[in-house]
A and B are shown apart, each in its own frame.
Chain A
Amino acid sequence: GAVVSQHPSWVICKSGTSVKIECRSLDFQATTMFWYRQFPKQSLMLMATSNEGSKATYEQGVEKDKFLINHASLTLSTLTVTSAHPEDSSFYICSAEKSSYEQYFGPGTRLTVT
């Protein structure tokens, strides 16, 4: 199989602090990883595409200085939410691309900013 993990699974932080979320492909290498955000009762929204060794590509409306993405290796991408605010509270899901058309999703990270 193909497994993608995320850490932490949930995190609570204070407004103004930064939070890092890790996404790992455990048994395959992923040149490309994607970061999604899921608001309650809404569909997944693509935030950015993370390519190993290069800068991430952000979707329109997503602040790249606020949501820092680093894809340092073929098995790890990180999303850092900087200077978090309560409106950043959400469910963040990553996916890793094993091959064309084949994406595997992490279990998600629930972020609550107080």
Chain B
Amino acid sequence: AQRVTQPEKLLSVFKGAPVELKCNYSYSGSPELFWYVQYSRQRLQLLLRHISRESIKGFTADLNKGETSFHLKKPFAQEEDSAMYYCALTRVDSNYQLIWGAGTKLIIKP
């Protein structure tokens, strides 16, 4: 079954500390993975996707096929990073629909 798992519902770290948001997936084909972010009272927006291998707002994520993971990392957290983060996988066999993780709420403490 195709599934995205984000094991942490809530992650709280101090400003300046490293951040790692975990995402594991289960997919029979070649996955395309994304991280989306939803800041308070704002729309959901794409943060990054693994095929572009870019770094946005200091965040990076590497696809590890051996561990079926796509963890989101940032070396030094900032207060404005506080938000809800969703990991998602696209179903390339079905109109590129997204399969969502449950989301992790990230709180950056001053």
Does residue A43 face the partner (Cβ distance < 8 Å to B)?
Answer: yes
- Complex Cα distance, B105 from A43, in Å, reads 11
A103 proximity list for chain B (CB < 8 A): 46, 96, 98
A101 touches B43 (CB 8 A): no
Does residue A84 face the partner (Cβ distance < 8 Å to B)?
Answer: no
- Complex Cα distance, B97 from A106, in Å, reads 16
B101 proximity list for chain A (CB < 8 A): 43
B96 proximity list for chain A (CB < 8 A): 32, 97, 100-101, 103
- Complex Cα distance, B98 from A100, in Å, reads 12
The size of the chain A interface, using a CB distance under 8 A, is 23
User: Contact check: which of B32, B42, B51, B86 meets A107 at CB < 8 Å?
Assistant: B42
The size of the chain B interface, using a CB distance under 8 A, is 20
- Complex Cα distance, B44 from A106, in Å, reads 7
User: Contact check: which of A34, A104, A108 meets B97 at CB < 8 Å?
Assistant: A34
User: Contact check: which of B36, B51, B100, B103 meets A101 at CB < 8 Å?
Assistant: B51
B49 proximity list for chain A (CB < 8 A): 101
- Complex Cα distance, B90 from A103, in Å, reads 11
CB contacts under 8 Å to B, within A24-83, are: 32, 34, 42-46, 49, 51, 57
B42 proximity list for chain A (CB < 8 A): 107
B36 proximity list for chain A (CB < 8 A): 105
Does residue B102 face the partner (Cβ distance < 8 Å to A)?
Answer: yes
A108 touches B43 (CB 8 A): yes
Closest chain B CB from A93 CB (angstroms): 7
A46 touches B90 (CB 8 A): no
Who on chain A is nearest to B36 by CB?
A105
Does residue B30 face the partner (Cβ distance < 8 Å to A)?
Answer: no
B103 proximity list for chain A (CB < 8 A): 43
Known A46-B98, A93-B44; further 12 A-B contacts with Cβ < 8 A: A34-B98, A43-B86, A44-B86, A44-B98, A49-B97, A97-B96, A101-B51, A103-B46, A104-B46, A105-B43, A108-B43, A108-B44
Query: Which A positions have Cβ atoms within 8 angstroms of B?
Result: 4, 32, 34, 42-46, 49, 51, 57, 93, 95, 97, 100-108
